[in-house]
Amino acid sequence: MNRIHVVQTNTQELQEAISRTLQQELESLKKDFSKPTNTDELLTRKEASEFLKINLSTLHHWTKKSKIKSYGIANRRYYKKNELLECLTIVK
């Protein structure tokens, strides 16, 4: 924790010190918020269907037709969020 000693400090110097500290904190927060979200995260079937705003049967058909890649562990299916975004195409 930074401490400011207010000894023989005038109002202008105090305001500048507070301003510098606030500016540093804001820059730190900007860096945290500007980091890209984790798009490599795995989504369950339900999460993927909610993300794409489709029902589970449509997700199943798209997966069967290889429109969307799925990954499996045992009987579970997962979808990579970044690959779901890549599957989206521009509609004219």
Q: Please indicate, yes or no, if residue 47 is contained in any of the structural domains.
A: yes
On average, the pLDDT of the chain sits at 87
Q: Please indicate, yes or no, if residue 92 is contained in any of the structural domains.
A: no
Domain of 31 in residue numbering reads as 1-35
Same-domain status, 48 and 83:
yes
User: pLDDT tier at 92 (50, 70, 90 boundaries)?
Assistant: confident
pLDDT at 39: 59
Q: Please indicate, yes or no, if residue 65 is contained in any of the structural domains.
A: yes
- Count of domains for the chain: 2
Same-domain status, 64 and 31:
no
Question: What are the φ and ψ backbone dihedral angles of 77, each rounded to 5 degrees?
Answer: -120, 140
CB 12, CB 18: distance < 8 Å: no
Q: Please indicate, yes or no, if residue 66 is contained in any of the structural domains.
A: yes
Same-domain status, 22 and 57:
no
pLDDT at 91: 78
Minimal CA–CA distance to 76: which of 48, 54, 50, 53?
A: 48
Same-domain status, 28 and 49:
no
Rounded to whole angstroms, the Cα distance separating 46 from 80 reads: 13
Global confidence as pTM: 0.56
Same-domain status, 30 and 47:
no
50 three-state secondary structure: helix
